Amino acid sequence: MFKRLMIDDATAIATLVAFVVAAAIFGFFVWRAIRMTRRQVEEFENLPFKTPTPESGSGFMPDTSTANTHSSGVNPDPQSDESL
């Protein structure tokens, strides 16, 4: 019923090469982090955030409690506020 999948040797080699490249990049970053001087670590510790951290509970969803929409979610008459 099901035929056995035949994996080409090139596919196995490409997978192995991709893994070796990813491991080498990860290893490079670990090696650089380990070799950092104390001064560099302190500089990174004191970097300011580009944007302020949002307050807890502020969320990312807009307030839809005052939205001018029909029960289906679409305003049937965008020119009139009394259409609700």
- SS3 for the chain is CCCCCCCCHHHHHHHHHHHHHHHHHHHHHHHHHHCCCHHHHHHHHCCCCCCCCCCCCCCCCCCCCCCCCCCCCCCCCCCCCCCC
- Residue 60: per-residue pLDDT: 62
pTM (predicted TM-score): 0.46
- Residue 12: per-residue pLDDT: 84
Would you kindly state where each structural domain of the chain is located, as residue ranges? 9-45
Q: Summarize pLDDT for 29-76 with one digit per residue, the tens.
A: 999 999 999 999 999 888 887 776 666 665 666 556 655 555 555 655
